[in-house]
Structure 1
């Protein structure tokens, strides 16, 4: 029954996304929510606001140092989705994504993109092997274990796709093939497999929202599979998460569409002859929610005075919000859209 409900929830989500005028407008926010939440499970402190500020090159001293880890997660997600057009989910793809995930950040010296050649373990911080809660396979077992996992992913048996993805996630985390980044790679695999198996046409299921909210149970369920073989308990937990997150994502998608339509009407009403440029800027704000006047000039093709006037009108109407407090080098954010994404972050 849970599998049936999860399939229906994903079907509704996929349908609601594909009927939108431009589904890619939503993907930007969904990928970043997943990046922030998946990274927070591993202990990062950066928020969605921090990520957007960093991407807008607002590199001030208030930004957490670990924001680069979240930026790398976004890059890894986008590169992985691009590579899926020519390469199946495989050990090769996993290693490529791992390289991007750890480039220049914490864990960057722990063999990015290379399968581990030493023993690792899971346990309290700084604890020795004797106090480990779980010891993954020894290094020489990692390549064949990943090979078996790859065969399982692409087998033509009758296992339902969602069940296959759920089982694969546990198995990847149990193999623990890298010295760092295994949790994030394992959650990226969920998104990649949903797209590769054509369950979703766009990566809009941010399962890390559910896994973070139930972090203790998440780890307990993984360990129960290893200790007691409780695959059924894990599957029920995973499927409940899919149902909850897919239902939430469809709701957020509807709210984003409503926001877009309301702001299109407001721009038409309040910007006069600049309405065409206003609409062009609005569409761009869904993928670049923090902009400068120079950005607006580039997006609209308008000169400085016209771009500045347009931003002033959108700020007055509440669509944009100046966020620096400076008279020069100002940045403006699409505050209502960011607030909607953060609402349940």
Structure 2
């Protein structure tokens, strides 16, 4: 980290640290909120974001069965947020892994199992956080609980799961030394002070609009970098959880990882620009544009899934489908990869009855068998996967 780039930063200060025989500088961000002039362009971008988010919130309130759509959105977020950190798992891989299949024969090459488990951990962490909001506000304890589940049994499992770091860390290329770091976050004593101030800001009243505040908080958490591993994923999780915690959305339907992954270099550069030069304006416009883009994307994706569900129901009803068959078809929106034992569990019927219902969905062109042979059959609903992945 070139200390000269941060020497005159209006958003923080440098402190000298000793790492082995090396002497370098770490960056300690100022406490929130900063003084920012919200100019016309920021207000216009904020208005666009609020309007798009409001449309998504309205859609969420009118969904007849929102759980059918929440699960796909959570898994899409898990895949894309983890991909920013270098995992090689896609949506179909994740669904297959959840059904006990590391790969889909003839459809997808298998990802490293550690990658699949990391993405599944993200799903479970997000689901835990959504449930935990009912009993605990977002705070340092809440954040540690998320981290403990995120790195359980995967990369980072030896980096004090659920505990803030006790050692200096840094951001740089894999295998690089601290002197070659792109960014060095606060030393441990200053880190704890920054975290306490961040927690206070989470619960304080602030005159900035909520979406602006979430943009500030995301930068602040990433610049503190309080864990030895998993900081980026936790930081992105907090965005989605704050939208719910602050009642900006009634359901967990908005995630920004797709936008950050698409503009990965800008994502990094804009946050670094805050630390170096105090460029809050560029970051906030970028962040708010992401809210707008992903809100619109979520509306389109939600409507496509709802239209597909209605289309299937109409076709199956015309063919005099039973309530069991309709229930099984609906379940494909929660998990578009299915085995007969899973169908049996979903419907609470005999194996033979589950098999017959699966065969009816195959005959209707809704399910397709992807495994070979007659034992351990695996089926996919490609139309659902296409909407989630596209």
1:53 pairs, out of 89, 96, 118, with 96
1:64 pairs, out of 100, 103, 112, with 112
Partner of 2:3: none
Question: Over aligned residue pairs, what C-alpha RMSD do you find?
Answer: 1.3
Q: Does 1:150 align with 2:199?
A: yes
Residue deviations 1:200-247 (CA, integer Å, cap 9, x gap): 111111210000000000000010000001011100000011100101
- What is the distance in 2 between the residues matched to 1:182 and 1:298? 37
2:375 pairs, out of 319, 323, 328, with 328
Q: Which aligned pairs between 1:49-128 and structure 2 lie closer than 5 A? A: 49-59=92-102, 62-65=110-113, 66-128=115-177
Q: In the alignment, is the contact (CA less than 8 A) between 1:117 and 1:140 conserved in 2?
A: no
Partner of 1:317: 364
Paired residue total: 341
SS at the partner of 1:218? helix
Tell me how far 1:278 sits from its aligned partner. Answer: 1.1
Q: In the alignment, is the contact (CA less than 8 A) between 1:50 and 1:64 conserved in 2?
A: no
SS at the partner of 1:120? coil
Partner of 1:276: 323
- What is the distance in 2 between the residues matched to 1:288 and 1:124? 36
- What is the distance in 1 between the residues matched to 2:288 and 2:335? 33
Q: Does 1:140 align with 2:189?
A: yes
Gapped runs of 5+ residues in structure 2? 1-43, 104-108
Tell me how far 1:150 sits from its aligned partner. Answer: 1.1
Tell me how far 1:289 sits from its aligned partner. Answer: 2.1
Q: Which aligned pairs between 1:260-271 and structure 2 lie closer than 5 A? A: 260-270=309-319
Partner of 2:222: 173
- What is the distance in 2 between the residues matched to 1:73 and 1:219? 21
Is the helix fraction higher in 1 or 2? 1
Runs of 4+ in 1 over 6 A off after TM superposition: none
Residue deviations 1:255-305 (CA, integer Å, cap 9, x gap): 0110000000111123x3x42111111222222322222222232243333
Partner of 1:305: 352
- What is the distance in 1 between the residues matched to 2:85 and 2:364? 39
Gapped runs of 5+ residues in structure 1? none
Is the strand fraction higher in 1 or 2? 2
1:24 pairs, out of 49, 67, 70, with 67
Residue deviations 1:85-115 (CA, integer Å, cap 9, x gap): 1111111011111010001101111111111
Q: Which aligned pairs between 1:180-259 and structure 2 lie closer than 5 A? A: 180-259=229-308
Q: In the alignment, is the contact (CA less than 8 A) between 1:123 and 1:133 conserved in 2?
A: yes
SS at the partner of 1:201? coil
Tell me how far 1:23 sits from its aligned partner. Answer: 1.1
Question: TM-score of the superposition, structure 1-length normalised?
Answer: 0.96
2:384 pairs, out of 305, 321, 337, with 337
- What is the distance in 1 between the residues matched to 2:345 and 2:222? 44
Larger radius of gyration: 2
